Amino acid sequence: MSGVSNKKQAIVTQKDFNLIIRVLKANWWIPLIVVPLLYAVGVFYIYRLTSVYQVSTQILLQNNESYYKSNVVNDASFYGAQSYVDNSNEKRVILSYDLLNKVVYKLKDRLEVSYFIVGKVRTTEQFGAMPFNVKVNAINSGLYETPFDFRIRDSSSFEIIYTKENEKVVKIGKFNQPLIDLDFNLTIQKSNNLQSEQVNSLKEIFYQFVIHSDEYLIDKIREQISVENPDYTNILEVNLSDIIPDRAQLILDSLNQEYLLLKLKSKYDLNEKTIEYIDKQLDEITVLLKASVDTLQVYKQKKSIINLGWEETDFLSKIGTYDNEKSTAQLQIKALDDLEKYIIDDKDPQFLPPSIYITEKDGYITKAVSDLYTKQIELNRLHNLATEENPVIQDNISNIKKIKQDLLIYINNLRSATKLKIDNINFEISKYVNEAKAIPPKQQDLLGFQRKLNVNEAIYNFLLEKKVNTRIAKASIVPDAKIIETPRNVGEVSPDRKGLKKNFLTGGLAISIIIILLRTFLFTKIKDIEHLKELTSIPAIGVIPFVKQNDEQGVIVDVEPNSRVAESFRNIRTNLQYANIGQANNTFIVTSFLPGEGKTFTSVNLAATLAKSGKKTIILELDLHKPKVYKNLGLNAPQNGITTYITGQCNSIEEIIVPSTFQNLYCMFAGPIPPNPSDFVLSEKLKDLINYAKTNFEYVIIDSPPAGLLSDSMYLIQFVDATLFVLNANSSTRKTVSFVHDLKESNNIPNLLFILNGVRNISKRYYYNGYGYSYGYGYGYGYGKGYGYRK
């Protein structure tokens, strides 16, 4: 495979390197201006932004701190029964409207009015340390969230300005006195720092205040607050964002207090209802106890009974014990009936344990009733947060139904067992009663009265003890949540000032790059021949340096024959002679993309250069729209020319051929400018004229209109051997080159050559270093709006 080249292609060629150097040299100033400018804009923008701070607090759920847990009857946990805390529900409780409404109501005096200081650049909200304080006695709801402009007039008066129904309203009032209007009743209180000596400085400050509704404050807090539950923990982290951290700390501190009070409320309610139930039982027992004492006293007085013997005392003790057990059993049956009625009727929205707490000993009913109460409280709370169809609510309802069903079965069984126990007690009592028949009747009656009195005293003492225990339990109740971190300011969360500055710097750099790319690919001028070669494969046969005021200099190759400009035209002449154009390479058309690129200047100087070499040369001024060849040659406008020949005003071609001031150089001027120049170009006589020039002269140079505006040049190309397209380094861009490529392909132009005019810095291989010139072909040329035209 000898035909395969082993030479590796370079990743970055010299051509790529030259492109990078040229782009950097032409655009180095752009990032130096854009980046600092955009950074300054960013600094000003950041300065106007309001800082937002975040305040955080943490709450521990299911707090297990110990407290008094004695039951009303036994040692089972009365308040200590804890169920699983659904953290998602607790989050919704904290964010609930009712809880936040309590916070707003509690802090209404501090949150109802927002105060601002209006500066020239930005408005800053203040919280405290103001020279005045607004107390809202009453206000029209339509003025909520309306800015009130406030100015201090002197140490005793102020001015308020606000807008109502698109009309400006001004009110003047006195400090510490009600300002009463149809729309509001306000009292502006003067603070201690508003002294007479400070009034002059405070008068220059523009203040503003806004009065908020409760709904606005609640919605604002809900927008700015968030509740997070870290994984695998029972901790709720509550965050509140605010531009004033002190206000956020105040709100979260009040929120913590209200949340803990809410957690305590259900336990307090249960405790109070238990005490109420015990008091009711005490009232009933007190009546029975008083009746027993009165009956016994009356009987003793009536029967003159002073004391009983030892046997009577022993007998009374045994009978009394059984009577006490019987009364307790009967009380338990009554409690079971009450509990069964509570369960079946289901009228109490917050289930209250009835008197079963008094006698039930095995703990099952106590635990079941406590669970039922806890489930009922949880269901009531869920009803405030969700609808009946919520799966959590449905599951809770099912659990409540199951507990009630199990309780009813257990109550029925326990009642049957208790009745059997009462039957046994009655049997024992009957046995002792039969044995006691031998006792005298009055002693027997006395034993009955004493037995009832003892039973009632025992029950009364028992209820008093449980009432005291319940009150002790109330004093020891703590919530099942604890504040483990008080509200604290964790710092500024927005805006991200460093990030914004980086973004503005990055944006400035990106915009600079975009501008450079746009300039490079759309607006960058073709400054040198190397740049031109990078853009096109069309040959460039010459580079013309930049020169000033070329119109006044006339034919520069004659005025300054030793200049670098003249040398450049001699190089073009040489390149044309050796260009691979064909045998008869003596007819050239010179055109450009737009006016002002040096087309006519190139035509005249190239023709003069060819004539100076001894070649008989003629220049045809076929730019009939704006002829200027005669000006460059320093001649007056001719009376006859190409247009007079075509119209028949001249009989022969020789009449319009004018010799120039240069030997071997002749001219066919345009003549008078016709109203329809393009129609003259299409004339058959023009073909005869061009053929005559090609036959009688060695070189024919045709100066044509710009190809970017008019199609005359495209028509004339068919009569020439080569097309010389003049580009100007001050105006020609990549778009111009693309236009020429499209022109070449669409018209199948065989010999198209570029001449780059107006190059300011020419490399060493082009003549000398540092010489340049300009061609001032103005844009007021008068061609109409053709291809590439810009106003």
- pLDDT band with cut points at 50, 70 and 90 for residue 440: low
Residue % of the chain over a pLDDT of 70? 83
Q: How far is CA 389 from the centre of its chain?
A: 35
How far apart CA 263 and CA 94 sit, in angstroms, is 11
pLDDT of residue 764 exceeding 60: no
State the burial class of residue 578 (Cβ atoms within 10 Å of its Cβ: 0-12, 13-18, 19+).
exposed
Lowest-confidence region among 25-29, 214-218, 373-377, 607-611 = 373-377
- DSSP label at 635? -
- DSSP label at 191? P
SS3 content of the chain, % helix, strand, coil (to 5): 50, 15, 30
Pairing of strands 587-592, 699-703: parallel
Per-residue model confidence as pLDDT tens digits over 600-633 = 999 999 999 999 989 999 999 998 888 888 888 8
Please report the pLDDT score of residue 454 as a whole number. Answer: 80
How far apart CA 16 and CA 22 sit, in angstroms, is 10
How far apart CA 152 and CA 132 sit, in angstroms, is 9
What pTM was estimated for this model as a whole?
A: 0.54
Buried b (16+ CB within 10 A) or exposed e, 69-99: ebbbbeebebbeeeeeeebeebbbbbeeeeb
- pLDDT band with cut points at 50, 70 and 90 for residue 55: very high
C-beta neighbour count of 748 within 10 angstroms: 7
- pLDDT band with cut points at 50, 70 and 90 for residue 113: very high
Question: Can you spell out the DSSP letters for 684-732?
Answer: HHHHHHHHHHHHH-SEEEEE---TTT-SHHHHHGGG-SEEEEEEETTT-
Please report the pLDDT score of residue 775 as a whole number. Answer: 33
Q: Which residues contact 273 (CB under 8 A, 6 or more apart)?
A: 350, 352
- Using DSSP, state whether 238 is helix, strand or coil: strand
Pairwise pLDDT comparison (37 vs 764), residue with the higher score? 37
> Residue 123: CA atoms inside 13 Å, Cβ hemisphere, count?
12
C-beta neighbour count of 775 within 10 angstroms: 25
Residue % of the chain over a pLDDT of 90? 25
C-beta neighbour count of 492 within 10 angstroms: 14
How far apart CA 695 and CA 719 sit, in angstroms, is 13
Average pLDDT for residues 92-103, to the nearest whole number?
Answer: 92
pLDDT of residue 382 exceeding 50: yes
Contact 543, 568 (CB under 8 A): yes
Pairing of strands 665-668, 657-659: antiparallel
Please report the pLDDT score of residue 480 as a whole number. Answer: 77
pLDDT of residue 634 exceeding 90: no
Average pLDDT of the chain, as a whole number? 80
Tokens 């005669």 locate to: 630
Contact 670, 622 (CB under 8 A): yes
Q: Which residues contact 373 (CB under 8 A, 6 or more apart)?
A: 270, 350, 351, 352, 353
How far apart CA 537 and CA 682 sit, in angstroms, is 32
Per-residue model confidence as pLDDT tens digits over 442-490 = 666 767 777 777 877 888 888 888 878 877 877 777 777 888 899 999 9
Please report the pLDDT score of residue 193 as a whole number. Answer: 66
How far apart CA 301 and CA 312 sit, in angstroms, is 19
> Residue 608: CA atoms inside 13 Å, Cβ hemisphere, count?
26
Pairwise pLDDT comparison (128 vs 600), residue with the higher score? 600
Tokens 């400054």 locate to: 527
Beta strands in 140-205 (DSSP E): 147-152, 157-164, 167-174, 178-180, 184-190
Per residue, what are the HEC states of 337-374? Answer: HHHHHHHHHCCCCCCCCCCHHHHCCCCHHHHHHHHHHH
- pLDDT band with cut points at 50, 70 and 90 for residue 172: very high
282: left (phi over 0), alpha (psi -120 to 50) or beta: alpha
pLDDT of residue 170 exceeding 90: yes
CA nearest neighbour of 504 among 168, 177, 44: 44
How far apart CA 642 and CA 621 sit, in angstroms, is 8
How far apart CA 229 and CA 603 sit, in angstroms, is 85
Please report the pLDDT score of residue 782 as a whole number. Answer: 35
Query: Please, which contacts does 218-225 make with residues 24 or more away whose CB atoms are closer than 8 Å?
Result: 218/97, 218/100, 218/101, 218/104, 221/100, 221/103, 221/104, 221/251, 222/95, 222/97, 222/100, 224/248, 225/95
Average pLDDT for residues 771-787, to the nearest whole number?
Answer: 33
How far apart CA 785 and CA 783 sit, in angstroms, is 7
Q: Which residues contact 476 (CB under 8 A, 6 or more apart)?
A: 67, 68
- pLDDT band with cut points at 50, 70 and 90 for residue 330: confident
Give ∠ CA 319-325-330 in degrees, rounded to 5.
Answer: 125
Beta bridge partners of 699: 617
**Structure tokens belonging to residue 735:** 């778009």
- pLDDT band with cut points at 50, 70 and 90 for residue 86: low
Please report the pLDDT score of residue 560 as a whole number. Answer: 86
Average pLDDT for residues 727-752, to the nearest whole number?
Answer: 87
pLDDT winner (highest mean) among 19-33, 304-318, 739-753, 768-782: 739-753
How far apart CA 515 and CA 501 sit, in angstroms, is 21
pLDDT of residue 79 exceeding 90: no
- pLDDT band with cut points at 50, 70 and 90 for residue 200: confident
Pairwise pLDDT comparison (17 vs 260), residue with the higher score? 260
